[in-house]
Amino acid sequence: GAVVSQHPSRVICKSGTSVKIECRSLDFQATTMFWYRQFPKKSLMLMATSNEGSKATYEQGVEKDKFLINHASLTLSTLTVTSAHPEDSSFYICSASRLREGRADTQYFGPGTRLTVL
């Protein structure tokens, strides 16, 4: 159990275009979904936290108008990178959290999306 999928796994786009990444919890209802980015050989960096039906909470320094997050249901969250630039090239990873034994903080990660902006 606790499977999280992400689509696409890899995307190459031109500078100035927008890219949408989907994150789905396949076998459980996620209380909360998280979006991270990771540069090569660097730590995970939390970008934002989203709860179903409410606005995402962005970490300091993350532009909410550039990284649009929609959490339409308990099993789906999307991240749209708007007007992408080469510096947005990174590995984007989502995770989903579910209630278990009264604790809501176990996070299960999707396989990640590697974005390359030319």
Interface with other proteins (CB under 8 A): 2, 31-32, 34, 43-44, 49, 91, 93, 97, 103-112
Distance CA 95, CA 25 (A): 9
| Residue 40 C-beta: closest distance to other proteins, Å | 9
**Quick one: the chain helix, strand, coil %, rounded to 5?**
5, 55, 40
Nearest distance in Å: CB 14, other proteins: 24
For residue 117, with 0-12 CB atoms within 10 Å meaning exposed, 13-18 middle and 19 or more buried, which class applies? Answer: buried
Kindly state the smallest distance separating residue 83's Cβ from other proteins, in Å: 26
Q: Which is nearer to other proteins, 89 or 107 (CB)?
A: 107
In the complex with other proteins, the residue whose CB is nearer, 14 or 103, is 103
88 phi/psi in degrees, rounded to 5: -85, -10
